[in-house]
Structure 1
Amino acid sequence: MPSEIDQIQLSFSPDAALVLQAILAVVVFGVALELRLSDFRQLLREPRLVLIGLSSQLVALPLLTLLLVGIAKPAPSIALGLMLTAACPGGNMSNVLTHWAGGRTSLSMAMTTISSLVAPASTPMIFGVLGSLHPVTRDAMRDVAVPYSELVGTIVLALVIPLFVGMMLAERRPALAARMRQPLKRFGLVVFFAFVVLAVAANHAIFWQALTGIFVLVLIHNALALATGFSVATLLRTGTAERRAITFETGIHNTALGLTLIFTYFQNLGGMALVVAWWGIWHLITGGLLARYWARRPGHSSG
Structure 2
Amino acid sequence: MLPIDEVRLNFSPASLQALNAVLAFLMFGIALDTRLEDFRRVARMPLAMGVAIAAQFLLLPAITFGLTLAIKPTPSIALGMILVACCPPGNISNIITHRAGGNVALSVSMTAVSNALSILLMPLNVAFWGGLHPQAAPLLRAISLDPLEMGLHIIAIIGIPFVLGMACARSFPALTDKVKKPARILSFLCLVVFIVAAIAGNWRYFLDYLGLVLGAVIVHDALAYGLGYGCAALAGLAEYERRAMSVEVGIRNAGLGLVLIFGFFGGLGGMAVVAGAWGFLDIIIGMALAFWWARRPAARTRFKGEAA
Q: Match of 2:306?
A: none
* 1:108-257 correspondence to structure 2 within 5 Å: 108-257=107-256
Secondary structure of the structure 2 residue equivalent to 1:187: helix
Secondary structure of the structure 2 residue equivalent to 1:118: helix
Q: 1:39 to 1:139 in 2, by over 3 A?
A: closer
Could you list the per-position Cα deviations for residues 156-177 of structure 1 after superposition, in whole angstroms to 9, with x for gaps in the alignment? 1111111121122112311111
The amino acid of 1:251's aligned partner reads G
**Match status 1:302 vs 2:298:** no
Identity %: 38
How far, CA to CA, are the matches of 1:276 and 1:263 in structure 2?
Answer: 11
CA contact (8 A) 2:7 2:269 kept: yes
How far, CA to CA, are the matches of 2:289 and 2:279 in structure 1?
Answer: 16
CA contact (8 A) 1:222 1:251 kept: yes
TM-score with structure 1 length normalisation? 0.95
The amino acid of 1:231's aligned partner reads G
- Matched residue pairs, number? 302
- Structure 1 residue 75, shift from structure 2 partner: 0.5
Could you list the per-position Cα deviations for residues 80-115 of structure 1 after superposition, in whole angstroms to 9, with x for gaps in the alignment? 110001100112111111111111111111111111
Could you list the per-position Cα deviations for residues 49-99 of structure 1 after superposition, in whole angstroms to 9, with x for gaps in the alignment? 101111111111111101100011100110011000110011211111111
CA contact (8 A) 1:7 1:268 kept: no
Secondary structure of the structure 2 residue equivalent to 1:12: coil
- Structure 1 residue 14, shift from structure 2 partner: 2.6
Q: Match of 1:47?
A: 46
How far, CA to CA, are the matches of 2:168 and 2:216 in structure 1?
Answer: 41
The amino acid of 2:115's aligned partner reads S
**Match status 1:283 vs 2:273:** no
The amino acid of 1:55's aligned partner reads A
The amino acid of 1:206's aligned partner reads Y
TM-score with structure 2 length normalisation? 0.94
CA contact (8 A) 2:261 2:267 kept: no
How far, CA to CA, are the matches of 2:227 and 2:145 in structure 1?
Answer: 28
Q: Match of 2:269?
A: 270
How far, CA to CA, are the matches of 1:89 and 1:263 in structure 2?
Answer: 18
CA RMSD after TM alignment: 1.5
